[in-house]
Chain A
């Protein structure tokens, strides 16, 4: 599978713990996005990178959340001091911003459960 991959697929953590998720985009894609999806809702934009630069952050991304893409390839999303309200599916997507080609392709997501 040469699509967007995310790891882990599932994560159960206790409230107050830190968690880190990884996303590997499609190899030639220069843009990488993080979204959060709760049950019965559409994905909500969190942040995105062009290469290694973080270009936009949603107000949903509180100071407990941090994302990195150090070499412009894979990205990590860390949540510190997790809360029950952080329970959701965290989706990563990537796109190649080149001319008219801007379609975003999603990974299968990391499902986080905070207990």
Chain B
């Protein structure tokens, strides 16, 4: 089955700096890669996703890049703000949101 590795497990950045979280996947058939943000005690919320027919997608301060050859994808957050502090999960699946395989998460800490 699919295996998703996520790094780092904890990331601390100064407010205003950029943050990058990286994930690798094992199944070359995976074609859908969402990112979820989860604040303490709350539900995971979809923040951005990318499909295998594109290499990059941006939404304001958030961007995701995908390298199908290397089987890795990354989340980039620019101009970080205190409200960006949360746990971020990457995931992968074949054919959309069915049976998502999640990484173990990255705890992003924004230092004031």
Whether A28 is near chain B, meaning CB under 8 Å from some CB there, is: no
A89 → B minimal CB distance (Å)? 10
**Of A13-21, A62-70, A79-87, A100-108, the one with at least 4 CB within 8 A of chain B:** A100-108
Q: Give the segment of B12-20, B38-46, B71-79 that binds chain A.
A: B38-46
Q: Is the CB of A40 within 8 A of B34?
A: no
A74 on the interface (CB 8 Å rule)?
no
Which residues on B are within 8 Å of A, measured CB to CB? 4, 6, 32, 34, 36, 42-46, 49, 51, 89, 91, 95-105
A40 touches B104 (CB 8 A): yes
B49 nearest in chain A by CB position: A103
Contact B89 A43 (CB under 8 A): yes
CB-nearest residue of chain B to A95: B97
Contact residues in A for B105 (Cβ distance below 8 Å):
40-42
A45 CB contacts on chain B under 8 angstroms: 99-101
Kindly state the separation between the CA atoms of A4 and B97 in the bound complex, as whole angstroms.
Answer: 15
B9 → A minimal CB distance (Å): 9
A56 touches B91 (CB 8 A): no
Q: Is A44's CB under 8 angstroms from B102's CB?
A: yes
A48 near B102 (CB under 8 angstroms)? no
The answer to whether A109 has its CB under 8 Å from any CB of chain B is yes
Closest chain-B Cβ to A67's Cβ sits at a distance in Å of: 14
The one of A31, A33, A105, A107 that contacts B46, using a Cβ cutoff of 8 Å: A105
Q: What CA separation (Å) do A39 and B99 show in the bound complex?
A: 20
Nearest CB of A to B72, in Å:
17
Contact A100 B51, beta carbon cutoff 8 Å? yes
Q: Which residue of chain B has its CB nearest to the CB of A47?
A: B99
| Residue on A nearest B105 in the bound complex, by CB | A42
Contact A42 B91 (CB under 8 A): yes
Distance between B54 CB and nearest chain A CB, rounded to angstroms: 11
A93 within 8 A of B: yes
Minimal Cβ-Cβ distance residue in B for A111:
B41
The contact sample of 15 A-B pairs, CB cut-off 8 A, is: A4-B43, A33-B98, A40-B104, A40-B105, A41-B105, A43-B44, A43-B102, A45-B100, A56-B99, A97-B97, A100-B51, A103-B46, A104-B97, A105-B46, A108-B42
